[in-house]
Amino acid sequence: MAVRLVVFLMFFSSTLFAQLPKNAFAQVQLRFDTLKLNYTDYRIADEFAFIMPTRLETEEVELRFYPDSVSSFKPLEIIAGKHYEVVDSLLMIGEQFYRVRLQLKDIKVGQSFSILIAFEEKGRRANYELLVYPYNLPKAALAQDAIELFNGEERSVEVVTPHPEYFTVNNDWVEGEYVDYWLQRDGGGLQLLLKAKRTGDHQLELPTELRYLWPVNGKLTTDGPTLKTMVNVKPTRLRFLNVDREHVFFDTDSRSAGELQIDYDSRLKMKSSYRVEDVSEGGGRLVAEIVPKSALGNDKILCEVFSYSHHRMTDGYLYIKDGTRTLAMTNFNVVNRPQIQEISLMREGGDWTDNLTVYPGETVEIRVRGNGLSISNFDFTPCKQQRDTVRLSDRIVFYTVTVPRDIDRKKVSIFFNDDVTPYDLRIREYKRPAPLNFVKIDYGDGRKHITDGDMDKPIFFRETIQDITLIFDRSAIDKQDRFFGIQELEIEVRVLSQDNKLIDIQTIRNVVICPDSTSPRHAFYEDNDCERVSLSLNSHLVRKTFTLDAFDQVLVQVRHASGNGPSQRVHIYAERRYNFDLDFSFPAGLLAVDAEDLTVGNFIGVSAAIMAQFKFFSQRRFGQPSPFQIGAGFLALNAFNFAEDAERDLGLVIMASLVPVRRKSSFSLPIYIGGGYFFERQQFLFLFGPGLQIRF
């Protein structure tokens, strides 16, 4: 009853949506392989559920909805869930049924989950759930089909099962008509203890109980398979004396293995020594000696035991002898005293090491070497642990240990048979390079992740770059499934001119960032100066970003100080559509046209002009000036004509010019066109012609 209550609580812990009504569809089916499961075949605590056999943690299934002609339900979509992924689209097949395929994942036997579905119900959207309860086909049998016991004898028999964890063990002996039994755990497996009560041949059928529900003959039950065996209980002239210890330790030095209690037998004399051999007649191997010390009130005799040879209970019985005369039978194990010689650790993809440093949330494999380990237990509390029952021997054992993400201690003591050992798992915080998606940059166009795809390309920013700020999203460093810990960054900033000459370079070191309070490990990060949330680059640059000229460049590189891990580079250009400059030029051979009567005058000699020029840049070729310029200023006609009859004049003009695009010197030969008012002539003139331009 307790097992069923636990199963029901596990079942309802996952139900957060309303259940799909029974009359919503004519039938809802879950299919995989050749198996068809109907949703309304079984109920758990009065709720419908798919009772699904599972063999793996991952299954691919097909979900079908058969419409009811009178129902208004229509499936719209499968809502994302933890235990499944949608493999293909939800489709109507042949006007007969809706179908969708799902990839189930992380399926645990006895742990229910829900498939969440959105339906259209009378023109409105409604969310429902289909409950799925996975189970395993339990298998178990005794290793021996026939067992021989002497009356009053105890014997352990191995229970062969691929999943011993699915079975519930007994808390004490269960009385039977012919044989008492006790189902126990033995390491990672199961064993059945039998105690004979009545002589004769007996067919035993012993029930088992599971930790989960499964369907049998149309009903859900926790009843497991029945363990069957034939037991032949023989009468014996030798009385079987039970002992209170299953294991006696072998000690080559003192031979003393401590004390044990044995059933009272009047033939055992106090202070006498009795041999314990492995055969009933003469010539047996000396396994141990027992020396009765005193009779106890519980019908037992307290004895001191000395060990001489190894023995396993499965090897046969032991015989208590007075000289050569056999007095009684007994049985116990004589094994090496449990002892640890070495503990080592291995991570996934790594090798064994004696460095027992682990990290929060990490799963590692622990290997213990020593003696007597098959009868020993290790405890790594508060870590989760699982013993490897396949690779198990008396000299070596393996454990899989998972460190809790929120562990609050620096060391985890390793306990050996409830005794503390000198070995500890030392807890260290992660300090490994994290992906740089926790770093954002703001250069005036809003905050952006430096790892965004468009950040790999040059960024052209037309406005004045007031500042470049790096923002650190401390909540994005540690995730629930993976920790990275404190991050130590280096930021290199280079400022280059339009022609790639280095103007300024700064390397900002010791930028330490730690995860914020959303990380389960936040309280355990000891660096007190790691709560930085932003960094202004102008506070470190000599050439400030707001003083950049047209098409100057800022190159920002963010990398981990260790030199390992990812790095990211952001390239920002101060883009301009036009530029304003002051030019001094020498127009020559300009042709003057009177603005009033449009008469064409003579060619003017070498003149001098000082112009405030607007220069435009090509929109197709980055940083390339356009050949067209326009400006306003003063023009001195015939400034360099010193003849007495020269017509010199000073005018206020607006001039457009066409200049060579690929010039690299300060001199160029432009073509001018424009006009203005000349003070000496007191008239407006149009001008056009070539000239010589000097740029400063």
Tokens coding 665: 């010197």
> Which is more confident, 533 or 628?
533
| Least confident piece of the model among 97-106, 152-161, 481-490 | 152-161
pLDDT at 527: 66
pLDDT at 5: 45
Q: What percent of the chain clears pLDDT 90, i.e. is strictly above it?
A: 34
- Rounded mean pLDDT, 421-428: 93
Q: What is the DSSP string of 238-297?
A: SEEPPBS-SEEEE-TTT-EEEEEEEE--TTPPTT--EEEESSSSSS--EEEEEEEEEE-T
Q: What is the DSSP string of 495-508?
A: EE-TT--EEEEEEE
Rg of the Cα atoms in the chain: 45
- Range from 19-28, 190-199, 650-659, 676-685 that averages highest in pLDDT: 190-199
> Which is more confident, 655 or 420?
420
> Tens digits of per-residue pLDDT, 176-190?
888 999 999 888 889
Threshold 0.75, pTM exceeds? no
d(CA 32, CA 61): 5
> Tens digits of per-residue pLDDT, 522-535?
888 876 678 788 99
Q: What percent of the chain clears pLDDT 70, i.e. is strictly above it?
A: 89
pLDDT confidence tier of residue 145, bands split at 50, 70 and 90: confident
- Rounded mean pLDDT, 517-524: 86
Q: Is 562 helix (H, G, I), strand (E, B) or coil?
A: coil
> Tens digits of per-residue pLDDT, 349-406?
899 999 999 999 999 999 999 988 888 889 999 999 999 988 888 889 999 999 998 8
Q: What strands lie across the sheet with 396-402, from one edge to the other?
A: 339-346, 363-371, 396-402, 384-387
Q: Is 572 helix (H, G, I), strand (E, B) or coil?
A: strand
**Mean residue pLDDT across the chain:** 85
Tell me which residue of 116, 31, 29 sits closest to 65, measured CA to CA.
29
- Range from 173-182, 615-624, 662-671 that averages highest in pLDDT: 173-182
> Tens digits of per-residue pLDDT, 245-262?
888 888 777 678 889 999
pLDDT confidence tier of residue 331, bands split at 50, 70 and 90: very high
> Tens digits of per-residue pLDDT, 589-607?
677 777 666 655 566 767 7
- Within the chain, what is the greatest distance between any pair of CA atoms? 157
Domains of the chain by range and CATH? Answer: 2-135 (2.60.40), 141-234 (2.60.40), 239-336 (no CATH), 340-427 (2.60.40.10), 436-574 (2.60.40), 578-695 (no CATH)
d(CA 168, CA 148): 26
> Tens digits of per-residue pLDDT, 11-29?
444 444 677 777 788 888 8
Contact 635, 653 (CB under 8 A): yes
pLDDT at 10: 45
> Tens digits of per-residue pLDDT, 59-93?
889 999 998 877 778 888 999 888 999 999 889 88
> Which is more confident, 408 or 662?
408
